[in-house]
Amino acid sequence: MGIGNIGLPGLLLIAVVVLVLFGRGKISSLMGEVGKGITAFKKGVDEGKQELEEQQAESAKDVTPESEEKDKV
């Protein structure tokens, strides 16, 4: 029997045991910290995407050759 076969009754039992061990206040504060962590992670990912897009836009702007050799035929 693997860990993938827990099922709903098993999850409810685990939730009750965790609630008894830690108490309601501790769990709610812990979930608040988890929420803050997820928010910070999403913000970091968005900032990373913006940085990459800015770098790509900057490199796409300058496509002209450095020397003006194209006029010589």
pTM of the model: 0.47
- Give domain status of residue 46, yes or no: yes
Query: CB of 18 within 8 A of CB of 27?
Result: yes
- Give domain status of residue 38, yes or no: yes
Which amino acid does the sequence have at 65?
A: P
- Give domain status of residue 44, yes or no: yes
- Give domain status of residue 29, yes or no: yes
Query: CB of 49 within 8 A of CB of 42?
Result: no
pLDDT digit string (tens) for the chain, length 73 residues: 456 677 888 889 998 888 888 887 887 888 889 999 999 999 999 999 999 888 888 777 665 666 655 555 5
| Residue 27: how many other CB atoms lie within 10 Å | 14
- Give domain status of residue 49, yes or no: yes
Range of the domain at 30: 24-57
Question: Tokens in use for 40?
Answer: 């910070």
Overall domain count for the chain = 1
Query: CA 52, 55, 60, 61: dihedral to nearest 10 degrees?
Result: 140
